[in-house]
Amino acid sequence: MSLSVAHATSPAPPPLPGRRLLVRPARCAGFVGPAVESAAPGARAATVSSSRAGDSLAICRVLNGMWQTSGGWGRIDRADAVDAMLAYADAGLSTFDMADHYGPAEDLYGMFINRVRRERPPEMLEEIKGLTKWVPPPVKMTRSYVEDNINKSRKRMDVAALDMVQFHWWDYSNPGYLDALKHMTDLKEEGKIKTVALTNFDTERLQIILENGIPIVSNQVQHSIVDMRPQKKMAELCQLTGVKLITYGTVMGGLLSEKFLDTNVSIPFAGPPLNTPSLQKYKRVTISYPFG
């Protein structure tokens, strides 16, 4: 099956007063070059790549998801957030997944990467990867519109080239997504994007995109033991084409944990509070897609 990479969504634990926090490293580096398509079983790193264009990006198998910075989890202290990002990176969890609409996520990454540049050795900087998403309204996708938005993310994240841009489109009846992706491919060739990817695209549109010669390296989709939709058609196409799957919702925002064991989430107040946007989202998933 295609490569699956899950998000790490729990906050970094604070050190106990008067005690030193010891973290066991879990390095994700070690795979470089377009010839490598995936890590060996059990490895801590993986590579997403496009055989069509020779693009390649080594990332952790577990990503640090930054949806929590979008506002629904309460106020974000930026300094504390960057400290937490450094703690994850120091522990070897060096891939961060964000989006243009996740509140200050891209700005936090820019602050974080500058801390890495100042305070960590150069080889650690090579391990850090920032994956962002671009989710535009379905308007006319001109070259200038696409480039302006990509440049905004480059500026916010303070990088010359975005490691990965995962593109999403809301309205499949509007074929403008192909124009957007073609402009993004041009920007990749110009060195402003390293890899072009998708998020939440269906199998039919993924095939159309690939048939148009766009070098997609991955598609980020929801997947868990409850929602197994990607295994029906998407996985087969990915196996045939080499596109990798990056998955989110793998533990359903914590709903698939001992805390909620034996809880009927459809009954109000029957268990622990579903008090975050992710828990509310995945409660709906259990109702809509019970076990695939």
| Phi, psi (deg, nearest 5) at residue 37 | -100, -30
Structure tokens at 279: 């828990």
In this prediction, residue 53 carries a pLDDT of 67
Name 8's bridge partners: 64
The model's confidence at residue 32, banded by pLDDT at 50, 70 and 90, is: very low
Are residues 194 and 284 located together in one domain of the fold?
no
Residue finishing a domain among 233, 250, 267: 250
pLDDT at residue number 269: 67
User: Residue 71: what pLDDT?
Assistant: 87
| 222 domain residue, yes or no | yes
For residue 15, the model assigns a pLDDT of 42
Q: Using CA atoms, how far apart are residues 132 and 105, in angstroms rounded to an integer? A: 9
Is 51 in the same domain as 163?
yes
Tell me if 18 is assigned to some domain. Answer: no
Same domain, 197 and 121: yes
Residues 151 and 256 placed together within one structural domain of the fold: no
Task: Specify if 197 maps to a domain.
Answer: yes
Residues 292 and 188 in one domain: no
Q: Does residue 224 have a pLDDT over 90?
A: yes
155, 276: one domain: no
Question: Which residues constitute the domain of residue 169?
Answer: 6-12+23-250
pLDDT at 149 exceeding the cut of 90: yes
The CATH code of the domain that includes 101 is 3.20.20.100
Using DSSP's 3-state secondary structure scheme, residue 94 falls into: coil
Q: What is the pLDDT of residue 286?
A: 84
Tokens of 140: 């006319």
Average pLDDT, the chain: 85
Q: Indicate if 112 and 246 belong to the same structural domain.
A: yes
Contact 271, 264 (CB under 8 A): yes
pLDDT score for 49: 78
Q: Does residue 14 surpass a pLDDT of 70?
A: no
Three-state DSSP class for 45?
A: strand
Q: How many structural domains compose the chain? A: 2
Find the farthest-apart pair of alpha carbons in the chain and give their distance in angstroms, rounded: 59
Residue 78 reports pLDDT greater than 60: yes
pLDDT at residue 207 tops 50: yes
For residue 63, the model assigns a pLDDT of 95
Asked if the structure places residue 17 within a domain, the reply is no
From the number of C-beta atoms within 10 Å of its C-beta (0-12, 13-18, 19+), residue 131 rates as buried
- 175 in the same domain as 89: yes
Give the domain-ending residue among 250, 265, 281. Answer: 250
One domain for residues 270 and 245 = no
- Neighbouring residues of 172: CB distance < 8 A, sequence distance ≥ 6: 202, 205
With 50 as the cut, is the pLDDT of residue 103 above it?
yes
Range 19-39 average pLDDT: 39
155 in the same domain as 71: yes
Kindly state whether residue 272 falls inside one of the protein's structural domains: yes
- Range with the lowest mean pLDDT among 4-8, 97-101, 230-234? 4-8
CA gap 23, 196 in Å, rounded: 33
Residues 239 and 119 placed together within one structural domain of the fold: yes
Are residues 185 and 205 both part of a single domain?
yes
Question: Distance (Å, rounded) from C-alpha 68 to C-alpha 278?
Answer: 9
